Structure 1
Amino acid sequence: MEASVILPILKKKLAFLSGRKDRRSGLILTIPLCLEQTNMDELSVTLDYLLSIPSEKCKARGFTVIVDGRKSQWNVVKTVVVMLQNVVPAEVL
C-alpha cells in the first residue's frame, strides 16, 4: 500500500509511529483518541499502513501501543483495544 493512496486518511493523524523505541527496542505506536467520533475503518487502514513500514527485524522486536483516551469516551477506547487485538501482531505490550 502506498502513502499517496491513503494520504487523506493519514493527514487525520489517527495513529503514528513516533520513531522512538521502548526498553526492548520495540517500536512505539501511539493512537491519540479525541472527543470527535473516531472512524474505526480509517483507523484500521492507518494501522495496516503503519505496521507495514518497519522491517521484519523491527517487527520481530514487537510494538508498544499507547492508546491515549484522555479526550475520548471509555466505549471508544475499549473498541480500539479490541480492534488492536485483531489488527496488530501478537508482540504488543
Structure 2
Amino acid sequence: MSMLFAAMIGWCGTRWPGWWWRLPRPPVPDPEPWWRDIFGGVIGAVGGAGAVVVFAPMLVDASLIETATTAFFGGVFLGSLGHSLMGAAKG
C-alpha cells in the first residue's frame, strides 16, 4: 500500500518546476503526442516508489508527509531526467 501511495505522489511530481504557477500563462499545448505525458507520469511514479525504497532506512519512523515529500521529489528527479533525455534525443 505504501508503494502505491509513493507511486501516486511520484506521478504528481512529473511536471516540476513551475509549470502550474507561471505568469503569464503559457498557451495550452497540443495534446499530441499524448503518450509522452503518460510516459513521463509512469517514470515519475517509478521515481517516487524508487525514492521511498532507496531512502527506506531513513524513513523508518517517517510520517505520511515525510514519505510523500520523498516520493514527490523522487518523481520530480526521475521525471525531469526523462523529459530532458527525450528533449536531448529530439535534438
The structure with more radius of gyration: 2
Bigger fraction of residues in strand? 1
- Greater RCO structure (CA 8 Å; 6+ sep): 2
TM more than 0.5: no
TM-score of the two chains, using structure 1 as the length reference: 0.27
Bigger fraction of residues in helix? 2
